[in-house]
Copies of this chain bind each other. A is one copy, B any other.
Amino acid sequence: MKVMTEPSSGTSSAAPASRCLAPTYEGDFVLDEHLRLDCGCTLACPTLHYAVYGRLNAARDNAVLVCHALSGSALVGQWWPEVFAPGAVLSLEHDFVICINMLGSCYGSTGPGSVDPSTGQPYGPDFPLVSIRDNVRAQARLLDSLGIQRLRLVMGGSIGGMQALEWTVLHPNRVERALIVGVTPLSAMGLALNHLQRQAIRHDPEWAEGRYLPQRPPRRGLALARQIAMISYKSAPLFDERFGRNPNRGGEDPWSADGQGSGLIGDRFDIAGYLDLQGQRFIERFDANAYLAILRTMDTWDPLRGYASAAEAFRRIRARLTFVGISTDWLFPAAEVRRFAEIIRAAGAPVDYREMTSDHGHDAFLAEQAELVRLLQ
């Protein structure tokens, strides 16, 4: 199994290394049976890679599950360190924090880079659709193995929040509280953005229908996909403030007379240089098939699927829920997060909604952790 080494923030912002926390333990849990997936396929004894922080108390009632975002890893101490700051949301002294890498990822859990035991080859593009619920079911098995019956808290932002909410619906008696940041089921615009990213990867000459060579992955396509994602993670005001219409730092000339301009070398605006850099960084740490797998997990999340109505689904919830919307998030607009929270409240669940004011867009839950912590206090 391929485990990429660079820590991942989930969407984009890496925390300062000095604040990073080392896990108490990091390892693999292998399911002792096949995982039946919502799509009808089976995943043979998948591995969940996970990290824990702090210690499980004797009563086993101090467990917190943190669910990571799209390109995140189990190492929550690296990408969400301020949530562990003294007096913040989590306490290394009192909590036992567990974070589990999503199925489909390239950070240790079974994904497209893993070997399919039925063929002896990596799954690659044949990795099946793993739903958010499938992930939650697998995570529950891991918690079972640790003797954790009930979570004090499950929390996550973006696709991590999808998992957190699904926990409260699927396992209502196992969750006391849930904290769900910047997420609803993907809107049509969100589905559109993922569709664009998928094509960017599949248009790469190295794509090879997903059977690309490990040494020749679809780098340019994955980099472009990341850039498309980045514009949805950040906000127009932030881009204007940081980059405006400046030429790329280092002295490029967007008004260069050379041909019609590549927009890639020598004639970029600053925002283009920034996006190129984000794309380059990303391809060093993430795999294209894994990216596609998790996009699909995200696309297909519908907490009402299989229920007759929102009321039927959400009245199952026993946990107290806190939703957080982000003022400049246009991937998951705050107004939509609020509306989603109200639908759940209308079904009888105890729901609290708060709004984070930030210029950072969707990424604020990672880029402005202190602000998030303040909002939650």
B271-A188 in contact (CB<8A): yes
A275 to B190, CA, bound (A): 13
A195-B263 in contact (CB<8A): yes
B231-A196 in contact (CB<8A): yes
Nearest CB in chain B to that of A37: its residue? B257
A212 to chain B, nearest CB (A): 14
A299 to B40, CA, bound (A): 48
B236-A188 in contact (CB<8A): yes
Partner of A191, one of B128, B204, B245: B245
In chain A, residues 193-212, which have Cβ atoms closer than 8 Å to a Cβ of chain B?
193-196, 198-200, 202-205, 210
Known: A205-B205, A224-B200. A191 touches B231 (CB 8 A): no
Interface size on A, residues (CB 8 A): 70
Number of copies of this protein chain within its complex: 2
B299-A189 in contact (CB<8A): no
Nearest CB in chain B to that of A194: its residue? B263
> CB of A281 within 8 A of chain B?
no
> CB of A88 within 8 A of chain B?
no
Residues of B within 8 A of A236 (CB): 187-189, 330, 333
Partner of A39, one of B195, B255, B333: B255
User: What is the 8 Å Cβ interface bit string for chain A, positions 18-42, against chain B (1 contact, 0 not)?
Assistant: 0000000000000000000111110
Nearest CB in chain B to that of A206: its residue? B205
Partner of A239, one of B192, B198, B204: B192
Q: Which of A186, A195, A255 counts the most chain B CB atoms within 10 A? A: A195
> CB of A351 within 8 A of chain B?
no
Q: Which of A41, A112, A188, A275 counts the most chain B CB atoms within 10 A? A: A188
Known: A187-B236, A254-B300. A259 touches B128 (CB 8 A): yes
Closest 7 CB pairs of A and B: A188-B239, A39-B257, A189-B236, A195-B272, A198-B263, A205-B205, A188-B243
